Structure 1
Amino acid sequence: MDATEFRELMSTEGLGLLDSLPPFDSQADVVRTVATLRKAGHSPGLVAAVLSQSKLRARAVAKFGPFAERMLFTEAGLEQATRLKVAALHAGRFRDAGVTRVADLGCGIGADALALAAIDIRVTGVERDEVTAAIAAYNLAPFGNATIEHADATAVDLDGFEGVYLDPARRNDARRLADPADWSPSLDFAFAIGERLPTGVKLGPGIDRDLIPAGVEAQWVSVDRDVVELGVWFGAAARPGVGRSALVIGDHGTAELTAPADSPDVELGELGEYLYEPDGAVIRARLIGDLARGIDARMISDQIAYLSTDAAVETPFAVGFRITETLPLDERAIKKRLQTLGIGTLEIKKRGVDIDPAQFRAKLSLKGNDKATLFLTRVAGKRVALLAQRV
């Protein structure tokens, strides 16, 4: 969204028109809607702006719930925004640390600032993009304890702030920036603040773990089995004795595995009747060994993040499967067996083998009404295919 489009949207006419639209429906006749709005006398630019916002609001419900109905977004801002339920946990850390005033550097559309303001923490959001800063100011307008500044995060005077939250920009337009020195602000800048103030730094979950400083809390967070972020926490915002954490959020609620450091793996053992795939947050945090010990499971092969048990167990930290057959990892043998069983819907998972699941699936000529999961992996170092059903 450019500044001209934003000004049209923020007019009395624009906001009124946006709020008058019914919830966005992807199946609706958009051409007819545009024609109706143009016939009512609205300019082409305004119509485009309000329809774009209506679409973004519909997408934002997954992250913001009913709050999305009164918020404004940019495409990039929504994509990068913290989910509100995760932002609330971030805010809770500062509250528990006794922090009453936080600088949110690189606040984007204001998701984390929203969560901080909602629990009566004074927050100043800083955003270098002018339009995004204005959108954040709109989203935070209901809160008298929140302000937004259009500025460079590295130029902000932190005197008077008791805590800092940073979400460094890791893209330049559509291009992902690989070097942390090129992020805005840079990783070194963010971590340097953490050395003197209670600080949280939001990073991508796949970051090189060697970049994580010693003595901090690193928490990988997954929502509905999707690993959404790595939070690196400093000072009073970190918990004593916790160096690694896997926070898993889903229909079960919130569950967490914590440890002082990476946990050692368990011993290898025989393949049992059940196979468990650890949540991605558990894998990223390298707490697979602690999970295995907690559910009395064993590893099936070196460096393979699958666990096996002889009995079904309940855990929020892994998805369970009952193994129905062990097959040679041979395309023709697997294809023949799947056809015999009438399996037409197949979920393919792989670890430890150099196979493209999409290409492999295309060669199976799946037909039938039954469904299954196929694991392409190694057991005791040998390549196998495991046919399974979800527990």
Structure 2
Amino acid sequence: MDLVHTSLLEALKADPGLQDRAAEVLERDGDRAPLALRKAGVEPDLAAAALTLADLRRHARAKFGDRADRLYFTRPGLEQATRWPVAERRAARFAAAAGRVTDLCCGLGTEALAFAEAGLAVEAVDMSAETAAYARANAEAMGLAVDVQVGDALRTPLADAAFADPARRSGAGRNFNPADYSPPLDELLEHLRGARFAAVKLGPGIGHEWIPEGAEAEWVSVERDVVEACLWLGEAAQVERRASLLKAGEWHELTGTGEERAEVGEVATYLYEPDGAVIRAGLVAELAQDLNAHTANEHIAYLYGDELIETPFARAWKVEEVWPLHPRRLKALLADRGIGRLTIKQRGTGIDPAALRKQLKLKGPEEATLVATRIGESHAALLCGEA
């Protein structure tokens, strides 16, 4: 255990007034906040800890809303912590199937708090004594009963339901290979076989080859930002693939096999860009069917249709013109139309939008979107407007 960090955490917990003062001076004085607290008689280490907490709480509001002002964070813990609406939704799925849950690799305790609020009895475990202390502090701050222990996730006996969020960062940075997670994903999946109902949270870039047979793989996006993947195991698996989107406070789900392929056709009146969760889940074909749309290249996840259908699973543009993807020609065409503000999107062409923008030397009062992509095997530029 890091006694220095743990003692500072205890000191912060014991002095809510210091927490409030730190937040105030950080807001008011910025970089001079440490001096302000030291002048008020706060010891340098404690002042630094209070200001760090205040800064982390400020950043945590994007994930936790107002409850962030009561919670305790570390920088690595906040980076990996689940957004509260996502944790809350997952907890509801657990609560519908079980009464007790083991939370492995609990980190700062976000999932444990959501499980407890959903009415589950929670046993939370983390390898780090310091991290476990933060999880306990957060449970206390929220007035929730969570049993937090220090232990090895792979040796922890499991309740009827179990959840895990393996560490995906090390001293060298983010680990993209699941074999390098802590604990390694393959060993963790084997251990979770001991629970009837289980799930493991993963980074959104997880490869489909890591999905066990019979598991449900879910990708989650929040306001168009793909934030995580989740494997649902055992009796928790309901479908093969799921894309779950939170938009304007409302959840939307698209499900399917992940094996279907959309029909290929020509550019049509409207272009749809599927949400990243739909693309990662391999559900573009299912979305195409719902939209009566098709792709123009089987490897590129843009969809085209002649009918504008409102959907939470994609953004839509109206295709105004289709041009060859030649920068000099594009420059002249855009100048003729007085387009000086241009959003450039690309998929499947390898161009650098920033470099292309410099070549175009845009001028004029009009605004548009230019989509660089492939139609069949040809590179094309689609001039688009609002749908």
Partner of 1:244: 241
CA distance in 1, matches of 2:380, 2:64: 43
Match 2:324 to one of 328, 332, 350: 328
The answer to whether the Cα contact below 8 Å between 2:5 and 2:130 also exists between their aligned partners in 1 is: no
Name the CA distance, whole Å, in 2 between partners of 1:213 and 1:292: 27
SS of corresponding position for 1:320? strand
Distance of 1:354 and 1:208 partners within structure 2:
22
User: Would you say the 8 A contact 2:262–2:298 is kept in 1?
Assistant: no
Instruction: Note the C-alpha offset of 1:3.
Output: 4.4
What count of residue pairs does the alignment treat as equivalent? 384
Question: Which string of whole-angstrom CA distances, capped at 9 and with x for unpartnered residues, describes residues 325-346 of structure 1?
Answer: 2121011122223333333332
Using the alignment, how far apart are the partners of 2:242 and 2:364 within structure 1?
42
Equivalents in 1 of 2:235, 2:17: separation in Å?
44
Is 2:22–2:37's contact at 8 Å kept on the other side of the alignment? Answer: no
**Mapped partners of 2:198, 2:327: distance in 1:** 51
Distance verdict in 2 for CA 1:370–1:44, change over 3 Å: farther
* Cα deviation, residue 25, structure 1: 6.7
The structure 2 residue matched to 1:253, chosen from 250, 255, 258, is 250
Ranges in structure 2 where 5+ consecutive residues have no aligned partner: none
Q: Give the CA deviation at 1:30.
A: 1.7
Structure 1 length normalisation: TM-score?
A: 0.92
User: CA-to-partner distance for each residue in 1:138-158, whole Å, 9 max, x for gaps?
Assistant: 111144531211222123233
Structure 1 gaps, min length 5:
none
Change (3 A) 1:178 1:266: closer
Q: Structure 2: how far apart are the matches of 1:34 and 1:145?
A: 35
Give the match for residue 173 of structure 1.
171
Q: What is the alpha-carbon distance in structure 2 between the residues aligned to residue 207 and residue 331 of structure 1?
A: 35
Identity of aligned residues (%): 44
Query: 2:243·2:255 contact (CA, 8 Å) conserved in 1?
Result: yes
- In the alignment, the residues of structure 1 paired with residue 259 and residue 165 of structure 2 have an alpha-carbon distance, to the nearest angstrom, of 28
Q: Quote the RMSD (CA, aligned, Å).
A: 2.1
2:85 is matched with: 85
C-alpha distance in 1 between matches for 2:26 and 2:315? 33
Of the three residues 256, 260, 273, the one matched with 1:264 is: 260
Shift, 1:263, TM fit = 4.3
The aligned runs of 1:194-273 (5 Å cut-off) are: 194-197=192-195, 198-239=197-238, 242-251=239-248, 253-259=250-256, 261-273=257-269
User: Partner of 1:54: helix, strand, or coil?
Assistant: helix
Supply the distance in 1 between the matched residues of 2:313 and 2:144 (Cα, whole angstroms): 39
Amino acid at match of 2:250: G
- Specify whether residues 170 and 43 from structure 1 end up closer, same or farther in structure 2 by C-alpha distance, changes over 3 A only: same
- Paired residue for 1:182, among 174, 180, 183? 180
**Match of 1:17, as an amino acid?**
L
Pairing partner for 2:313 from 313, 317, 330: 317
One-letter code aligned to 2:147: T
CA displacement 1:117-163 (0-9 Å, x = unmatched): 001101121112232211111111144531211222123233xx111
**TM-score, length-scaled by structure 2:** 0.93
Residues 276 and 307, structure 1, Cα contact 8 Å, conserved in 2 = yes
SS in 2 for 1:237: coil
**Alpha-carbon deviations, 1:25-52, whole Å to 9, x = none?**
77x5323333321111112212211111
